[in-house]
């Protein structure tokens, strides 16, 4: 099993999750982050770190967000690793409570 980054992360990308990952399983795109399902050891420490609660255990991903399981496994193959937090995206606080952000995901 793995953990999965879901929609709330899009356009926010706070990256607090990255610092606590013991296996460096995060991959970074321009406005989203994903978890490499091959690397994730299911420790769950990242879940509580995300200010917008974007990360779920695979089996707990809400039904309307299930497509993010595939999105994480696909994008992890093309995006570079990130192992330390960076600044959130400039308008993260503006977007943190917005839903239906998938249309803004830059792949």
Residues forming the site for ligand F3S (CB under 6 A): 5, 9, 12-17, 33, 49-50, 52, 54-55
CA–CA separation, 18 vs 24, rounded Å?
7
User: C-beta of 87: minimal distance to ligand F3S in Å?
Assistant: 11
The CB-of-38 to ligand F3S minimum distance in angstroms stands at 18
Q: Least CB distance from residue 52 to ligand F3S, whole Å?
A: 5
Question: What three-state secondary structure class fits 92?
Answer: helix
User: Contact at 8 Å (CB) between 9 and 64?
Assistant: no
From the CB of 81, what's the least distance to ligand F3S, in Å? Answer: 13
Q: Which is nearer to ligand F3S, 13 or 40 (CB)?
A: 13
Identify which of residues 14 and 79 has a Cβ nearer to ligand F3S in the complex. 14
Helices first, then strands: H and E counts in the chain: 4, 4
Q: In terms of CB distance, is 19 or 70 closer to ligand F3S?
A: 19
Listing DSSP states for 13-52 in one string gives: ---HHHHH-TT--EEE-SS-EEE-TTT-----HHHHH-TT
């Amino acid at each position: 099993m793995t953990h999965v980054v879901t929609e709330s992360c899009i356009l926010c990308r706070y990256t607090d999750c990255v610092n606590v990952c013991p296996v460096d399983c995060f991959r970074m795109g321009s406005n989203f982050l994903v978890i490499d399902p091959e690397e994730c050891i299911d420790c769950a420490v990242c879940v509580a770190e995300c200010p917008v609660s974007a990360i779920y255990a695979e089996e707990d991903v809400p039904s309307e967000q299930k497509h993010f399981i595939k999105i994480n496994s696909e994008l992890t193959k093309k995006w570079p690793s990130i192992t330390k937090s960076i600044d959130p995206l400039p308008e993260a606080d503006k977007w943190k409570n917005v839903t239906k952000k998938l249309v803004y995901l830059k792949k």
